[in-house]
């Protein structure tokens, strides 16, 4: 039942206009509409959507709230950096990135923040993984 539905991921944003520009201009997402409460809705792949819902400062999470699966991680990083997105680098005892990318088994990933402090991720799976 629920596995056949479309989903909308809702992210808390302090400034919907600023966040909307980031998601449209920097990430290239297509705006669909703005709801009566100010939530800005963007199209995602497979018919899913992203909602940027007005929320107070501090409503954002310190962990990854949205991850985009991409076929070419380095290519996507280069394209987004060209648009001004800044990727994070980590050097922790059990977690390290090289050129912004962490390798975790059959997955490779890179993280960045939106204008509101939400943690976003790009990830690439090896062949045969979904």
pLDDT in 10s for each residue of the chain, 130 residues: 678 788 999 999 999 999 999 999 999 999 999 999 999 999 998 889 999 999 988 888 889 999 999 999 999 999 999 999 999 999 999 999 999 999 999 999 999 999 999 999 999 998 655 4
Sheet holding 8-13, edge to edge: 8-13, 49-54, 40-43, 30-34
What is the C-alpha separation between 72 and 17, in angstroms, rounded? Answer: 30
Q: Which CATH superfamily is domain 7-125 in?
A: 2,3-Dihydroxybiphenyl 1,2-Dioxygenase, domain 1 (3.10.180.10)
The answer to whether 116 touches 12, Cβ cutoff 8 Å, is yes
CB 52 within 8 A of CB 13: yes
| pLDDT attached to residue 34 | 96
């Amino acid at each position: 039942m629920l596995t056949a539905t479309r989903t909308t991921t809702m992210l808390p944003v302090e400034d919907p206009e600023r966040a909307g520009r980031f998601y449209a201009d920097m990430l290239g997402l297509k705006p669909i509409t703005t709801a009566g409460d100010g939530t800005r809705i963007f199209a995602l792949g497979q018919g899913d959507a992203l909602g940027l819902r007005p929320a107070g400062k501090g409503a954002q999470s310190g962990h990854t709230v949205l991850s985009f699966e991409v076929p070419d991680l380095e290519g996507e990083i280069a394209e987004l950096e060209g648009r001004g997105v800044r990727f994070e680098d980590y050097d922790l005892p059990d977690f390290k990135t090289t050129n912004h990318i962490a390798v975790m088994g059959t997955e490779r990933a890179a993280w960045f923040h939106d204008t509101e402090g939400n943690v976003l991720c790009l990830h690439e799976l090896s062949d045969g993984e979904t």
